[in-house]
Every structure is written in C-alpha cells, then in structure tokens.
Structure 1
C-alpha cells in the first residue's frame, strides 16, 4: 500500500500511537500509518476539524465506534481503539497490507470469473459479520475493500452514519458517500428507510465493477448517476453468468426483495466456482492462499429481526525420505524464522477468499446463527445442497490408526541433524537446531476429504510439532504448531507460503494436546484440543494427493528440540 510523507500540520502522535505517514484522505478525515506501543502497524483515522467541532457529530461518532467494536474481524479490519473525546477525534483499526479493489482493477483490469467469485464471497462474509453486529456499512465501494494476502478485508463500516446523520451535512441534494454505489432508498427517502439491504445493493455495484471495470450505473455527473440508479436497470454485460441472478436480486428496486447478507453468502457458496481459462488468467495473479473465515464469531451481539436484516437505529450492544530434509529443510527453517520475525512470508497477492466448501459454509452459517439467534440446525441445512468444487482424483488412500508406541507405519531413523525413536510408548522426534527433521512414515498417498488427528507434546518452548499432508517429498502442505503460534503453509521446494496463522490457540510445552486437520475438498481447518486454530485453502491442483508425515523444528537455531507423538488416526472420505 502506497504512503506519502506527513505534512507540516499533521499530528505526529495521538494517544499511544505514533504517526509515520499518510495512507489516504477522504470526506471524514485523513488516514495515517502508525505504530502501536508494541511497534506494530496500525491505521489511524483522524477526523477533520470541521466535524470534530460539531457536538452532534461527536455523539454519533462515539456511538458508531462502539458498534464497530462488536464486529468480528474475519473479512473486516478490526477496530482496535478510538478516542472520540480527544481534541482531535481518531479511530485506530487493524492495518491491512494490500491494495484496494479499486486500485487492482484500475491497474490490471477486470478480474477473471473465479477470482471475481472469490471476492464476492469475501465481501458477502464481511457484510454478514457487520450486519450481525447491528451495523449498516453505508459506504461500501471498491476503495473500501482491501485485498490482503488471503482474503478481502472490508473497512470503514458504519462510521459514515456519524456524518450522514448529522443535520449540518444532510441538506437536500447532498449525499454522504459515493453515489455510484448508493441504493435507491439512500437517494430518495420515499423508496423506504435505510436498512442493511442498502449494503446489498452496494455489494452488487462493487462486484460489477470488479468483473467489468465499470459501474453498473453511469452518468456524467453525480446527479445523472443518481437518476440512472432511480430509473434504469443495471448494466450487467460482461458479468459471469454464475453471478447474474444474484446480482439482479441485489439490485432490486424494493429493498425487501434483496437477499440478506447471510442468504447471499449461502447462495454464493452453493455455486460451483468458475475457473479462469488460459486466456484470462494472468501469470502475475496467482491465487494460492485463499481463506474465508480466519475465525468465527464466539457469540453475537444483537439479534436481527425475522427478515434477516439487523436493526437500524437501535442502541449499540454493550461492550462487554527417511533421512532428514537436510539442505532443503535448512532453507525451509531459515525461511520460517525470517517469516516469523518480520511477519513476512512469500507474498503472493491473493485478491480473494477462493474455493471455500462445506467446512467454511458450516463456520459462516454457525457464526451468523449465533449473531442473529437463528437455530443452528436450520441455518446449516443448505450444506446438503452444495455442489462442491473438487479437482482431486478419485483415489483416496487407507484409513488407519497407529498408537505410535513402536515401529509400524512410522520407523526409527537417525542422522546428523536429528532422530526419530520410540521411547516410553511414544514417537520422539528430535532436531539438533537450525533445521527441520522428518520421521519416515507411510508411503500411502492420500487425496480427497480426510481427517488427521494426533496427540503432541512439546518438550520445550523452542520446539514445534510439524505435520505434513499431501506431501511428495519436496512439495505439499504443512502445519507447524509452536508454543506461540500455529501456522498452515504451502511448501513448494524451498518456497513457503503462509495460508493462515494464529497466536490465540497454541500448543503449550509440557502438556499433551490433540492436533487435528480436517480437509474438506479444497479447504483445510486445523484445531488444537477442539478449538479452531487456523484455516486455509488447499486448492493447488498439483498438490491434490500425497503422504502424511510427522516431524519437528525449532524456533531457536542454536538448541535441540524434541516433540513426542502418539495416537495418530487418519480417516478418509
């Protein structure tokens, strides 16, 4: 994301945050790149002085900030802090590294059908979370969709209401926001009240722009564009046929005829994801890391009414080889350490969420059910209607259980870099620092849906357990479970790409933990002791099958590290 230097009149510090450079400017204020007290990057939105001096605006801004804090942070930029009572009111949100959808389309042209569908899913997931917290975005547009490494992140949700609802800024003929993506009811109050359905209309405009490079309604002036929205049908030429029906519903003149965000998400996930042909896929736009829900909502704030739309002006919720991997492994471990220390892994710009199948549907549906109060059983029923996308062959591989108490499917090995031995009824994997050691395991190749579970214990805080799947000796997917982080990655020779990571659910040394990987079509979900850890797409067609392996690595290159394994179980189908 491009930045510009601070100007003479710009603040250098606000509260605990040091401001470094400018990220952008809009009607509400200026967005700065800042650092939090721990040195992490944040985005700080500073309100314009003319708004800050208005008491009505401050009151509304304070209310909307409290609402925004309730929005779960999957597919949205999390609200971290705010001070609406400061002489210079400001809002601190998660810094999302990546360009906006607007910039990507303007620079590279319309998206391919598959990538467009991914963006459609990601933005719909974000709206599901936003509406579930009782918020209407009110200014959804391509520049407010940032394309992070694994998924789209929607920003600036709900804050526009603080300005829109202030009488000084809402004279007739004056609109707050971008007219191109405004629903009819935002332009003409006679159409009806503003509800979350207005965001669904805007979602349609964002998707048409991403897929065609133009707006669905166009006029030479904002007033002319508004007239088009109020009187004309949207221009959908060039939009993939798989999205036309949903877009038509999203652009319905009557807000009551538009789908709710959760319905929109369900319908999108039930559609076979279109894949770009060789003429449309760009060599510089690979989409390997596609991940929909990095987390689900533990519990939701305010229920929505029966029509699925959240309340508009209700009060905000209370805050409440058998040998080691040797040289290749050394490079791999070094790559991981660099990634861990600088938060930088191989960055392939993934514009969207991608192929998300049954596991993600369940996560999204349960999340929405928890926020709306709908029965989970009823909400999850559409899973049965899904047409899963699968590029994996029919061959599966056997299901088996191995207590790992002695040689069987896994064997002992020893080398300069480490060893795998059976001690006290468990498999002990040891690495002698600065590399990764892999225990020789079964030669069976596995593909398709599969569940892998194993009990692990770390001997020290520097040790990390590793599980590979769909692995062919040099390429595959791997889960690294450490005392401070769990990460899902794709290994391509010596190249590592992170598909997702978390520090909130980890494997603590000295205790036994159950690590499970559920692979459903092109999606993998990792849990630790039954708690959701990380999720990611395993959609590379060249990695559709491979072996399961166990191993060990260390976060400290100068020390030995040990991990013990027991009770390995894998089920296919």
Structure 2
C-alpha cells in the first residue's frame, strides 16, 4: 500500500507521474508512479545530497548497468534510470504484494511448504543476482515480496555506490540491517570486501525468520545482535529436516564455509518435498506460483540496500567469488584493490565437486532464449539467466546436451535463420570463434594448452559450446590438445586466475555462463563470459593475455561475439 505524496515531494520525474510514497530509507525515497505507457512502476529517488557527488553518479551508473543484467524471474526488473537527473532516480517493476515481514507479522510463522517456497524463491533470485556480478547487501524480509505470481526479491539497486560515497557508512555505520548481516560485515578493520557469501548468510536468516517468526541471532539491541552473529551459534529452534541443515551451513561464520546460491538451490530442489507443518502458530502462504510445474534447468549465475517496504518495490552492487584449477582448488592470497589481476579468496565448496544441473519450475522463465527484451532476435547465445535450448523447447537432455535440435521463430512468426544458428550453437552443433570485441582478435587454444589470441585462421581458434544445464563447457576442436580440450580456470602460486586447457569434466573450474552485453562493431550481439566460482573472463592489455577477474570491483571490460563457423 502507498501513502499520498508529502509537501515538497516531486509530482513528476522525467516522463513518470508520481502517485504516492511506498517507503523511504538511507538512500532516498520510493514512489509509486505511472510510466508514459500507463504502467505502474516503482521509482527510487536518491537523496539530494548524494546527487552532488560525481563519484556517486559514476558508480550509480555502473551499478544500474549491471543490475539491468539480472534476469527478472524472482526479482523486480530494472526498467529505467537517469543518473544525470537532479536528483538521480531508478525505475523498477512494481510488485503488488506484501513483504515477508508483513506476512509473518499478520499470520505468524509459515507452513513447511511456505518456508520451502520462500527458500527456493530467494535462492533463485540470488543465483540470478550473483550471476550478473551483483551483491544485494541488504537482503531481509522487508525486501522479499510474496506476490501472486511468486516470490520477488527487491531493492538490489545502488547500495555499492552509496557505500562508497556516503559519510553514513563510515565510523562503524554501513548499509544493511544488523539482524541479517554476515559476521564479516562487522569486521571493518580487516578490509575484507563484502562478497556473495554475505547474501547467503542473509538468506539463512530470512528463511529462519519465515519458519520461526524471529531472527536466529536476536538480541536486546543492535549491538547485542551483532555480538551474537559474530560469536554465537544460530537459534534454529522450530526449523527441522534438510532445510535446517542448509540454513545452518548458510549461517557459518566463515564465508568460505557457506554454499553458493546455486548450491543452495541444488540442495533445496533435490531434498525431499516438505510435508506437514512447521512449529509456527498459524498457516502462512504456500510455495510460489508454479512450484509444481515441470522443472527446467536453472541458469548458472554469481545487490543493494534501500528503502524496502510493504507492497512496493525498489531495485545492484557487485559480486565476487573464488576459484581453483582444472577441477582442483589452489588457495591464493587475498588481493589488493590496486592489482590489475585480482587475487582470489576461495568462497564455497571445492571446485573438484561435479557441477550438477539444478532444476527450477519452468514457469520462472520467459521466452528469452535468443531474444532481447525488445523482442528482437540476436545472433549469439542467451544472457545469464536464460534456459538452455533443451529447456526452452521442452526437449530432454543427455549428459547436459540437448538431444533434439531446437527451432525458433522471429517475433513476426516467420522462421529466423539467425535464431536457428544460435540455438544450434547452444546445442553444441556448430563450431564458432570466440571473438574478443575490444581487440578484434579471437581466442585460441594451441597444443600447449595455454590460451592465446589470434586472427582466427587456425583450427586452434575453433570451439564448441557444450551445455551443462544452462551453462556451458567451452571445448576446443583442435585435435592436438584432445587430452585437455576444454577451457578451465587455473590459479597460480600468487592467486592470479587464468584460462588454460583442462579436461572436459563439469566442475566449478570448467563451467561458464554467458551474459548478453551489447553489440560489436559488426552489429553482432556480444557477451561476457562468467565463471560462477571465479569471475569474469577479461583481457589484460598490458600483459597481453586473457585472465579471470573477480566480479566485485571492476566493470566488464571484455566482451565476446560468437561467430558461426559451420557444423560441428
């Protein structure tokens, strides 16, 4: 529910007519608005004093661009933004539904099925958010909406820009809600950056709240709560079964001991379906809509704080994960912000564990396999968060590769040859060049297994995508390296991550997501290549080499076009 506008509130921003207030917080106010097309939207207006910071505007623009890459299933879609307006504002999808905190306040702890639905919905949202290189930073029940169409996570818009420029985040003050903040958020003296694992901790606290009606480290004051978070085990009384074990793992003190969002989903969706009631006082809402639908492969994907609130939405930050080599982790030292190639802190489980295809309800996905949001059909692969060709067509998969050749039609209904080629590439049926847009060169994997760039004329520059769920192993067709033909992430003794030839086994080191970014100079759709565990594939112009950089600090500097080179 929204309240009316207050004296001094704007009545229009850009082309948006403001109708009422939805909430407010440290970064600004959120308004219910009407778009020029008549659609109801939520507009987050940044505090006036921040608009005078050039640094904030730059960071705000960067974070908005990254937030636009977050798939909109289980999250509020970012629709528009104007970093140059005075004040800056962000426009997101309006979700008409109560927040989780309102549901618990009015009805008490949820049923076991309802808690499981919250756990799956929020974990799915975090998978998409982290896969776009975003960290939420203020995940809490007020930012989880129980909408008619399913769970929606909101308010992942501008926290990182705010933290970096606001005096209110200094002297032991920071963006976030204490009861849902990970222990590392309080250890400011260590200089450790907030990573995706902090969102995983918040996920555990949110799920515990949904099941029990209280937070797992509840204290008499914010200080007492913070001390319990840092020193005491969580109180999970009332939470039982496999879900209790997952929540307990998510609430580990050491971020390296927590699962990733994708691992949470794997555990949630392979565990027995919840039965019976929780220890709650009353029956709460059930699982999100579509929970009983036919499953489809989940995208393999790796933030912000704000005003939260009732039935309205606001809407990234940046993410960071850590990694190993050829299926085996090698721990390196934590990095410094001045490094060109960021050192990696290992987060999550060992990369040697096989990656499994995670299943989520097919209803969570739209028809965006090879289309952008405008309905046009690009000539490359899908962005992070889109289903594999098999998932889109309903076809079965064997060993992660679709068994049926997918087909497509352009928006007008006529067959699209470009889309068919794209789908064939995604199904592993076409050879392709990985064209590095920024330097107009192509990736190559010669006989020695060291990745290079070249002119694309040799057989060592030809690759095939091999689907693993909706992610991919990237296999060279060069016969000289048949023993190690797939791209994999390797850490050196100093913790720097590079790409090398590896065995074609689906591990945390060899599975990559592909996220749509824009167009190259020839009009072809270009993409970033992201390893969920280690980060972005980037080009180092100084060292003249390809490396892998954590997603937490730098923008996406390197993109790739997938250039079709015939049947595989």
TM score, norm. by length of structure 1: 0.53
Q: Which secondary structure does the structure 1 equivalent of 2:21 belong to? A: strand
Partner of 1:185: 184
Whether the 8 Å CA contact 1:266–1:361 is kept in 2: the answer is no
Q: Which secondary structure does the structure 1 equivalent of 2:41 belong to? A: strand
Task: Give the deviation of 1:40 after TM superposition.
Answer: 0.7
Q: Which secondary structure does the structure 1 equivalent of 2:211 belong to? A: helix
- Does the C-alpha gap of structure 1 residues 154 and 295 become closer, same or farther in structure 2, counting only changes over 3 Å? farther
Q: Which secondary structure does the structure 2 equivalent of 1:19 belong to? A: strand
List aligned pairs for 1:306-321, cutoff 5 A. Answer: 306=323
List aligned pairs for 1:470-489, cutoff 5 A. Answer: none
Distance 1:357 1:227 in 2: 36
Whether the 8 Å CA contact 2:130–2:319 is kept in 1: the answer is no
List aligned pairs for 1:354-503, cutoff 5 A. Answer: 358=359, 360=361, 371=384
Whether the 8 Å CA contact 1:303–1:372 is kept in 2: the answer is no
Distance 1:162 1:302 in 2: 13
- Based on CA coordinates, which of the two structures has the bigger radius of gyration? 1
Whether the 8 Å CA contact 2:146–2:152 is kept in 1: the answer is yes
Partner of 1:160: 159
Partner of 1:151: 150
Distance 1:225 1:277 in 2: 28
Distance 1:175 1:376 in 2: 43
Task: Give the deviation of 1:296 after TM superposition.
Answer: 6.8
Distance 2:414 2:219 in 1: 63
Distance 2:359 2:157 in 1: 30
Match status 1:196 vs 2:217: no
Q: Which secondary structure does the structure 1 equivalent of 2:18 belong to? A: strand
Partner of 1:251: 251
Q: Which secondary structure does the structure 2 equivalent of 1:165 belong to? A: helix
Partner of 1:516: none
Partner of 2:4: 5
Distance 1:187 1:303 in 2: 18
Distance 1:279 1:224 in 2: 26
Partner of 1:19: 18
Match status 1:125 vs 2:145: no
- Does the C-alpha gap of structure 1 residues 299 and 255 become closer, same or farther in structure 2, counting only changes over 3 Å? closer
Partner of 1:105: 104
Task: Give the deviation of 1:281 after TM superposition.
Answer: 9.8
Whether the 8 Å CA contact 2:208–2:214 is kept in 1: the answer is yes
Task: Give the deviation of 1:58 after TM superposition.
Answer: 2.2
Partner of 1:59: 58
Distance 2:178 2:18 in 1: 31
- Does the C-alpha gap of structure 1 residues 376 and 304 become closer, same or farther in structure 2, counting only changes over 3 Å? farther
Distance 1:23 1:229 in 2: 31
Task: Give the deviation of 1:161 after TM superposition.
Answer: 1.2
Match status 1:276 vs 2:276: yes
Whether the 8 Å CA contact 2:78–2:91 is kept in 1: the answer is yes
Whether the 8 Å CA contact 1:138–1:160 is kept in 2: the answer is yes
Distance 2:218 2:280 in 1: 26
Distance 1:275 1:281 in 2: 16
Task: Give the deviation of 1:171 after TM superposition.
Answer: 1.8
Partner of 2:440: none
Distance 1:295 1:12 in 2: 44
- Structure 1 residue runs of 5 or longer lacking an equivalent are 316-355, 378-382, 385-503, 511-573
Number of aligned residues: 343
Distance 2:21 2:119 in 1: 29
Distance 2:284 2:200 in 1: 31
- Structure 2 residue runs of 5 or longer lacking an equivalent are 303-317, 330-334, 340-356, 370-380, 391-396, 399-408, 416-568
Whether the 8 Å CA contact 2:297–2:359 is kept in 1: the answer is no
Task: Give the deviation of 1:219 after TM superposition.
Answer: 2.0
